[in-house]
Amino acid sequence: MTVVHLPKSAVLSSYARHLMTKQQEKEAKSARGFGSDDSSKTAKSTVGPVDDSSSLKAGQDITIPQLEDYCDDFTADIKNKLATLTLSHETYSEALNNREVYLKHPPVFSHKLEIDAPITNQRNSGRCWIFAGLNMLRQHMMKEYNLDELELSQPFVFFYDKLEKSNWFLENILKTLDEDLDGRVVQFLLTNPVQVGGQWDMFVALVEKYGIVPKEAYPETVHTSSSGQMDWLITTKLREYAKEIRAEHANGKSIDELRKMKDRMLREIHKVVSVSLGQPPKTIDWSFYSKDKKFHEFRDVTPLEFYRNHVKQDCTKFVSLINDPRNEYMKKYTVDYLGNVYGAESVHYINLSVQRLKDYAIRVLKAGRPVWFGCDVGKFLSRSHGMMDTKVIDYKSAFDFDFGMTKAERLQYGDSLMTHAMVLTGVHIEDGKAVRWRVENSYGESYGNKGYLTMTDRWFDEFVYQIVLEKSDLPKEVLDVLDQEAVVLPPWDPMGALAK
């Protein structure tokens, strides 16, 4: 806790102010131009009414007397001047860095994956969910082929995601033709037609349909690394297409005729993505040197063959576990209208307590395997120290207040949701309990601790919402939940948030 020693004069002034009688306070306020009956009359056009006891009434507007009272309270505490001088030149995360937290939690872990794969960089794009998925999958390949480094092509998955999401949007427009344009569902669909970001099951749908290739077979372009302009163009065209489809429906066009229109529209979207990113390869040649300097080569391999025969992990055998304390645990959930590939398995989750998520994740990490997870990354994050902790930014010392909402309440009141996906690659355990977690991010090596973050266990409790594990890592009682009929959450539910 920061201790500020006030000058003696400031202490006496504050103490004297505290001891003022009601009459003295009334007289003092009157001298400043408000509070007495006479002054309230003269200032009638600019201030709200003040009662005879001079206490300020709470009302709809902010009154001048209120504002002056706020200012007096602010200037009476010299600590506020110190905070102002500091925070006018520094961000909260830098100026209020809690040194005790990152000294207590060094980037050292009792259990860490054997392989440290090169850190990747999604740059200015909403592709973290793709990066996290491919970064998780490459660990097995690096062991299998004895590699020092390997990066799988995020642009390849990204290309098909843009095309599939465009189709997904247009199909949902066809599905809602008879709903009111101003209704909540249609307006929700129009808010983000191209759906920047994604979730695990959306990643699975893409790799199962199109496969995977190495990064060198389909590298970055300007518009994969900074996708804003392309996203804007696709978004604008999709909204225009939605208008055309609804108008032609109103004119009596059949669903078959409307789908012919959709085909023309998707052809245009395909052109946008192909021009911006380049067309993905149909086959690839993969050659490399292993750690023992041996040369390896595989020729004329399709992306699906590369996924099946070289990645060698079946993504359909993984399951998403969420921690949503608003809703009942040991239940299966889905979100209406959430997805990207028509015909793929729907997005679904098993809702469990956060302790279960942690227990299962620890077992997998101890077994030497990484864990994909989704969280609200911007909350209580020190970028310079690569630390995520609920106390790492000391807001209390600067502003003299704490935060009072629970995890469930933050979800209910729109203060938190999943915003980012990363990979757990280690955990530090003391006395049988997790203390901190090692996180592989996709923001480049200059971010955090050479690209890695340290997440404390209490931060996990509050801001981790989803982990992905193989079904074989879960007990039967959890797997049996998958046989339930899913509870359908509305499209705007925070569990449907897309990691970016």
Point out the residues that are catalytic.
Answer: 128, 420, 441
Tokens of 123: 């740059």
Number of neighbours of residue 185 by Cβ within 10 angstroms: 17
Instruction: For residue 357, give the nearest of 346, 368, 365 by alpha carbon.
Output: 365
437: region left, alpha or beta (phi > 0 left; psi from -120 to 50 alpha): beta
244 contacts: CB under 8 Å, gap ≥ 6: 261
DSSP state of 273: H
- Angle (CA) 30 34 35, round 5°: 70
Q: Is 320 helix (H, G, I), strand (E, B) or coil?
A: strand
Burial of 325 (0-12, 13-18, 19+ CB in 10 A): middle
Single-letter code of the amino acid located at 350: I
- Quote the CA–CA distance of 39 and 65 in Å, as a whole number: 11
- Quote the CA–CA distance of 47 and 63 in Å, as a whole number: 6
Residue written as token pair 């960089």? 121
Tokens of 171: 């199909």
- Quote the CA–CA distance of 209 and 205 in Å, as a whole number: 6
Number of neighbours of residue 142 by Cβ within 10 angstroms: 18
